[in-house]
């Protein structure tokens, strides 16, 4: 049954911006190729452009995203597109937009704009009476701390109901992140292991080989904790630790995720290590005396029946040795039985769910080799080889937004809880430690995992260059 929120028009605010050009337009092309688009697409931005000039830019975006561009498909997409130029703070823009949307009842407004404009845009849409049956997608960041996240929501809620707001976090569109729920609850083997009686600790790593590049001005105001930990990684943790949802709706899913976040106490500053890669301060747009972190590592706990006593370690950073995002459950050691040779050398089993770049799962077991040597034996699965290629996140999220599926979009209470968890770290940031480019971050982060297995080198599947 079609959702009552299925869109009959798409309006992209910020169509000329970096995100729209690199991600949104190529995603729309791929949806067109699958035959999943319907209705007009209106791009809005400040630049003075004609419809034809927008189409030329769109073609360039699709070409730069890679893969062949099929003329007939691109022409179909281009045929839907039109452009509206104006200032998002000018009420006249919304009157013009309303005229372009005549006859359309359920537009999706996708805000790929500076976050400071989210409030004014929603107000403009409301004043032009465009929001009755509309939905509004907003890109992260949802605030820059707890207070501003609450304030942003207050502004949006003056015009919109909660279910009209789609908070886009592209990690929630990643196939293996979605897969986590099924892996855990469709497999008794996993479900039985996934609890404090079996798990010694959890490590979540998001390592990037690149630095901040041309995003210095943006990044220096944000830092690693806000950029990827508060949003992507805490939402992934919520999925890793949640109880099974009682039903299939977005509410069922988010109720369980939020339960996990509510059970996580705010992180103590002593459990947080910040790092900055060598040379960061020379990046264009970065302050010469910047103390912004490009690496963050923290230890937290989940105070509920299932996870109490299991430390969760999260680390993320730029200019690290590999590009890798993974969740690693380190299982408890087996009992030391007398019949096994040298039982102290048995390594604990580990379950790794790799999110990026080549998604998959590893079960790390232990076996005795020919010469009575303990060996680590990996059982690996690459999801794309078993399940076929996954839909890229922006395509999946755009499709969900257009078809009225709220499940992959973050709910406000989850956002508030995740800011609460990191707020002490933002209010009282510890000193930042330098680290060399290509290293695993500052060695100070090693003290966080004292008492658990050290930080584990991520699983990089064979054939994938590090």
Ligand X SMILES: NC(=O)C1=CN([C@@H]2O[C@H](COP(=O)(O)OP(=O)(O)OC[C@H]3O[C@@H](n4cnc5c(N)ncnc54)[C@H](OP(=O)(O)O)[C@@H]3O)[C@@H](O)[C@H]2O)C=CC1
Ligand Y SMILES: O=C1O[C@H](COP(=O)(O)O)[C@@H](O)[C@H](O)[C@H]1O
Known binding-site residue numbers for NADP(+): 140
Q: CB under 6 A: which stretch of 82-90, 174-182, 314-322, 378-386 binds ligand X?
A: 82-90
Measured from the CB of residue 393, what is the shortest distance to ligand Y in angstroms? 7
Please state, in angstroms and rounded to a whole number, the distance separating the CA atoms of residues 205 and 201.
13
Q: Does 19 help bind ligand X (rule: CB under 6 A)?
A: yes
Query: Which residues participate in the annotated binding site?
Result: 140, 170, 174, 208, 227, 318, 323
Measured from the CB of residue 325, what is the shortest distance to ligand Y in angstroms? 6
Please tell me which residue in 144, 232, 319, 433 is annotated as part of the active site: 232
Residues found near ligand Y in the complex (CB under 6 A): 170, 208, 227-228, 325, 356
- Is residue 232 annotated as part of the catalytic site, yes or no? yes
Q: Does 46 help bind ligand X (rule: CB under 6 A)?
A: yes
For ligand X, the binding residues in 98-157 under the rule CB under 6 A are: 112-115, 117, 139-141
Name the residue nearer to ligand X (CB basis): 156 or 264: 156
State the residue for tokens 């103590």.
268
Question: How many CA atoms lie less than 13 Å away from 438 in the CB half-sphere?
Answer: 1
Instruction: Put residue 400 in one of left, alpha, beta given phi > 0 → left and psi -120 to 50 → alpha.
Output: alpha
Measured CA distances, 286 to 276, 279, 298, 369 (Å): 12, 10, 24, 53
Torsion, Cα of 441, 446, 447, 450 (10° steps): 160
Question: 326, 204 in Cβ contact below 8 A?
Answer: yes
Residue count, binding to ligand X (CB under 6 A): 21
For ligand X, the binding residues in 234-263 under the rule CB under 6 A are: none
Instruction: Put residue 86 in one of left, alpha, beta given phi > 0 → left and psi -120 to 50 → alpha.
Output: left
Q: What is the DSSP string of 412-434?
A: HHHHHHHHHHHHHHHHSPPPEEE
Measured from the CB of residue 117, what is the shortest distance to ligand X in angstroms? 6
Give me the numbers of helices (H) and strands (E) for the chain, helices first please: 16, 15
Measured from the CB of residue 59, what is the shortest distance to ligand Y in angstroms? 24
Please state, in angstroms and rounded to a whole number, the distance separating the CA atoms of residues 5 and 287.
44
Measured from the CB of residue 459, what is the shortest distance to ligand Y in angstroms? 16
State the residue for tokens 């000329």.
16
Measured from the CB of residue 457, what is the shortest distance to ligand X in angstroms? 28
Name the residue nearer to ligand Y (CB basis): 200 or 208: 208
Q: Does 18 help bind ligand X (rule: CB under 6 A)?
A: yes
Q: Which residue's CB atom is positioned nearest to ligand Y?
A: 227
For ligand X, the binding residues in 163-202 under the rule CB under 6 A are: none
Q: Which residue's CB atom is positioned nearest to ligand X?
A: 17
Q: Which of 10, 77, 78, 88 binds ligand X (CB under 6 A)?
A: 88
3-state SS record for 128-149: CCCCCCCEEEEECCCCCCHHHH
Paired tokens of 272: 């947080």
Query: Which residues participate in the annotated binding site for substrate?
Result: 170, 174, 208, 227, 318, 323
Question: 269, 428 in Cβ contact below 8 A?
Answer: yes
Q: Does 45 help bind ligand X (rule: CB under 6 A)?
A: yes
Look at residue 227 and give the partner it binds from ligand X, ligand Y, none, a contact being a CB closer than 5 to 8 Å depending on partner kind.
Answer: ligand Y
Name the residue nearer to ligand X (CB basis): 112 or 201: 112
Q: Which helix (H) or strand (E) holds 255?
A: helix 250-262
Name the residue nearer to ligand X (CB basis): 169 or 293: 169
Q: Which residues are catalytic?
A: 232
Binding site for ligand X (CB under 6 A): 14-20, 45-47, 87-89, 112-115, 117, 139-141
């Amino acid at each position: 049954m079609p959702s009552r929120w299925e869109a009959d028009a798409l309006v992209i605010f910020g169509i000329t911006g970096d995100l729209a050009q690199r991600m949104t337009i190529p995603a729309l092309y791929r949806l067109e190729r699958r035959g999943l688009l319907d209705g007009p697409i209106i791009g809005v931005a400040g630049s003075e452009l004609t419809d034809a000039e927008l189409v030329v830019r769109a073609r360039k975006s699709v070409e730069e995203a890679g893969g062949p561009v099929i003329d007939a498909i691109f022409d179909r997409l281009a045929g839907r597109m039109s452009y509206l130029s104006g200032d998002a703070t000018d009420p006249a823009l919304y009157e013009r937009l309303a005229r372009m949307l005549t006859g359309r009842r359920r537009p999706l407004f996708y805000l790929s704009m500076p976050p400071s404009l989210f409030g004014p845009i929603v107000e403009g849409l409301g004043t032009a009476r465009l929001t009755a049956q509309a939905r509004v997608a907003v890109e992260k960041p949802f605030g820059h701390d707890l207070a501003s996240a609450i304030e942003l929501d207050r502004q949006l809620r003056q015009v919109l109901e909660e279910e009209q707001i789609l908070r886009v976090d592209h990690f929630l569109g990643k196939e293996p992140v979605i897969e986590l729920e099924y892996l855990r609850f469709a497999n008794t083997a996993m479900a039985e292991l996934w609890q404090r009686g079996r798990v010694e600790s959890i490590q979540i790593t998001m390592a990037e080989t690149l630095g901040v590049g041309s995003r210095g001005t943006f990044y220096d105001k944000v830092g690693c904790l806000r950029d990827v930990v508060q949003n992507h990684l805490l939402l992934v943790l919520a999925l890793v630790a949640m109880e099974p949802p009682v039903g299939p709706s977005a509410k069922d899913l988010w109720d369980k995720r939020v339960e996990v976040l509510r059970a996580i106490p705010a992180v103590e500053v002593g459990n947080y290590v910040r790092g900055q890669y060598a040379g960061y301060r020379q990046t264009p747009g970065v302050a010469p005396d910047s103390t912004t972190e490009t690496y963050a590592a923290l230890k937290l706990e989940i105070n509920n029946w299932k996870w109490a006593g299991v430390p969760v370690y999260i680390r993320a950073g730029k200019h690290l040795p590999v590009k890798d995002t993974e969740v690693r459950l380190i299982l408890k050691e087996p009992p030391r039985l007398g019949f096994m040779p040298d039982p102290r050398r048995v390594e604990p089993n580990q379950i790794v769910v790799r999110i990026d770049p080549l998604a998959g799962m590893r079960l790390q077991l232990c076996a005795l080799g020919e010469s009575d040597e303990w060996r680590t034996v990996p059982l690996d699965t690459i999801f794309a080889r078993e399940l076929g290629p996954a839909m890229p996140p922006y395509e999946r999220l755009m499709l969900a937004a257009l078809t009225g599926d709220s499940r992959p979009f973050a709910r406000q209470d989850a956002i508030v809880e995740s800011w609460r968890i990191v707020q002490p770290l933002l209010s009282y940031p510890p000193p930042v430690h330098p680290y060399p480019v290509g290293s695993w971050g500052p060695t100070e982060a090693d003290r966080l995992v004292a008492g658990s297995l050290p930080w584990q080198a991520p699983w990089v599947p064979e054939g994938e260059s590090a």
